[in-house]
Structure formats: structure tokens, C-alpha cells
Structure 1
Amino acid sequence: MFSLWSNNKKQRTISRINFVYIEDDSYTYTGKPFEPNVIVVDVEGNRRFEGKDFNVEYKNNVNIGSGKIIVRATGNYSFYEELTFSIITPYVPAPSKISTSLYGYDDIKVSWSKVADADGYYVYYKKSSSSKWSGPKYTTSTSYKLSGLSDGAKYYVQVYSCFKDNLGKINRARSYRTSSGIYTLKKLNNPSVRKYSKNYIKISWNNISGESGYQIARSTKKSSGFKVIKSTNYKYKSTKIKTTRNRTYYYKVRAYKVVGKTKIYGPWSNVKSYKLK
């Protein structure tokens, strides 16, 4: 394919040059220098020869980016051309599997399968409500922990394979794998407490996405002495609790998520007081 045409205004020759080009202007990075073959043809259709009619100099012809070829005429010809070509990212497979799990209520652990040709991995993440990916986070491991995320948000994670070039620079490959969505746990809104019957109160809360269940804690003090008195699964957003009449109790609720054999707890809600009369 034709890359560049010569500037005929600079020619003062016995025979004019018609065009200068390279046959291929795109190459995949290998770590070795590329020296594309330069073809020079005069107006009579005759091909001219490197070393006799022109010289070639290559620049930036190893690493990913734009390479340059400088062509200078010799002998009976007078022309100068700068041709460019691209060195593109090689194909490195993406991880075949990727999984995410909570390891804290607002922390996500992402794991993936090892890629034999990868020198490392870039991890990106974003909320489902956002179009912008955050990152990258680089690691040579096959897992990474994302900490301090937003509470009660759905996240997606992408993992790219990476490779090092001759300069030691980490480059992102073209292939990647995206996880399914995962929710962080959030702090519940203030629970509501009301009379249910003579000896029972009813405590209610708003369900949140991604939870496995809820815990209710109670104390006779506002800021200390709380004990978990009941647990419910994710299907419930209220429960009744037996209590002593004419005594003020303080209540709070939190969500939890079961990951494997571990329960991960969200933050407690604000405290709500109630006296059953």
C-alpha cells in the first residue's frame, strides 16, 4: 500500500521520481527492530535501488508506537521523504476466568486464571452507574483487593493481560475479561421501631441489594453494651422482638453477606430508641 508520495518540487534529476512507498505500514510488536522495505519508482516505471540511488534510515522502529523511515537520494537523484509505520500491541490472551467476592463490606477481592504469556495484569473497576473506569492497578499476581469503595454500590471489574517491552515499560494487551456485577454492603437507613403487641415491638428497615441477611442488636445504653439478639435472612425487612414494658431500649441493624464460610458484616445503622408502654 502507498504510504507517502515524494515532493516533486525538490527534484532536479536526470529522471524524476514518481513515488516512494513501503509495502506494509503496520507491524505487531516482537521486541526486535522492524526495517520495512522501501520502494522507489521513477516516472518511467523503473524501480530504483537502495544503496545506489537512495539511502534509508530507521528511527523508533522497535517499541510500540509510530516508527519513522527517512529516505535520502544519492547519485543522480535529489529527493527526501519521511515515511511512517505503526508498531501495534501484540495479542496476549485475557484470563479465561474472573471472579469477585467481598472481603470487607466495602472491599472487593478479584481473582482470575493465570495467563502463560502475560508479564502482569492491569485491573480496572467502575460502578454500574458510571461510564468511566478507574485504574489501572498493576499486579503480577492473579488476584487483587480493591479497598475503600462506595457503600451499597454495584461494581464491575476488568482484568487486562500485560507485557513488558524492551524499555521495561508495562504495556496493556488488547484482550480483557469483565466480571459479573457485585454489590458492596451499605449502612442501613435508620430503622423504625413501633409497638407490635402487648409484649412485642416491631423493628423495620429498608432492604439493600446483595445482602444475605440482617442482624439486630439491642442495648439499654445509647452508645455501648449492644448485643445481637436476632438474625434474619435477606427475604425479610422487619421482625418482631419480645421486650420488657416501660423500659427504654436502643436498637440498631446491619446487613451481612455470606462469602464461602465467612460472614462479612456491613456497618451498623444509626441507633433508634423505643419504650414499649
Structure 2
Amino acid sequence: MKKLTSILLSAIIMLTAVVGFDLAAYAAGTSASDAQLISLNTEYSDTLQSGKLGKQFNFYQFVMPETGNAKIKLDLYDSVYKSFCNIYDSDGKEIYDLRGIYNRAFDCYKIDSEVALNKGIYYISISNYSIDGFNLNYGGTYYFSVNYMQKLTKPLNLKLSAQKGAKIKAKWDSVNSANGYQIYYSRNKNFKKLSAKKIVKGGKKTSYVGKNFTKGRKYYVKVRAYKIVNGKKVYGKWSSVKSVKCK
């Protein structure tokens, strides 16, 4: 691990120890091949080296225990250039390119982004350099963390009722942090073939009346919550399956 020699940084570490926040100074790798493994939900501190005509990268590795969301937080101080944070999958393919925004109040470049990731191993690189590639890298000190977000739970208490006009009403309990719900309808209890599906927008909307079903037929229904992360829907687990005979 790199030793923090700055009195200011030492003071910060002492302060965080007092208040109980988990902070660690860490020696990053210089490529994915020697990336250092970090723990989720832990804040780390390190520095970027200054140099000429090059991009300075620090590499880390982390593991997502389950498919879900991760909050990437990075504060870069004492830097002329903005911060870059890139996330790669286990094959080395870049899947996210995050860029810092200058925060005048804290005099640093900040990244605070939520990303959707599958279960598995990932690499994260931290850097700061000029876009044109012809200026000096002035380095800087940064603090960062990869925080695992609680995944969406499955909707509970799904209830169905057949209504006149070949309609089926579904009701369920709301799911925390959901942006909406997806409903599947099928005449097969294993949902091998769908009769209909519907997206219900809004996390607080917990009922929907489906139309145009066949009278006298039995339908199976299930619901799952979703959350929007970087413009994409990330789904939680399905509810229990319920059935109703259409009027």
C-alpha cells in the first residue's frame, strides 16, 4: 500500500476513524493484469502520478455478488484535468465511461453515478488527462468507492379479479425504489407462451386492468418491479404466480 505522507490526508484519515467511516489508502495496479482487489461499500484513497504525454491509470478489481446496481463515487482533488472512471467486464470490454464534473464548493472533480452490472468480476480504472493528449498529467489525490445497491425485491400480495368485458384486474404491494412494474399474462402456468404483457410506469402505481382476454379462459399472471439505471430498465424478481378465470 502507498503511504500517505501529506499531513492533511493523515488528518482526514484520523477524522474518518473517529466518526467510523470506512476509509483505506490503497496501492492501485497500473493495468487490469495487476489490478488490486477492493471491497464493496468501502472508501479508498490513492494518488495519480504526474507525467508527460501519457495517460495515468490506476486499476482496481471488484466483484458483484449478484446482478444489480452499483453506485460509483469518486472525488479527485488537486487536478487540472477532469477525472475519468472506466468500468470493464472480465473480458476487458469497456462497459461504462464516467467523467467527473467540477464542483466549485469542494474544489474537486466529482463522479456520482449508478450503474447496472451483472454478477461477476469487474475492473475499474481511474485517470485524469487532457482530451487532446498533448498536455501534462498533473496527478491528484482521490477518494472513491464502489457501493453495492440493494436489489429490487419481488412484489408481494398479488391479487387478481375477473371483471366484466373480458378484463383482469391485478393488484400488488409497492416495491421500494421501483420506477414501475412489468406484468406477464399467459394461459400456461409456466409462461411458455405469453397472452399479453404490460409495462406500468410509476413505482407507486400498484394496480392495472388488462383488457381483451378470452371469456371462460383461465389466465396466469405474475408481476416484477423495475428501476431505470442509465436509461435502461433493471428488473427485480417475479412475484408469485396467481391465476383467474376470465368472465
Short-chain TM bin = 0.3 to 0.5
Which protein is bigger by CA-based radius of gyration?
Answer: 1
Higher helix share: 2
Q: TM-score, normalised by structure 1?
A: 0.41
Higher relative contact order (CA 8 A, sep 6+): 2
Q: TM-score, normalised by structure 2?
A: 0.45
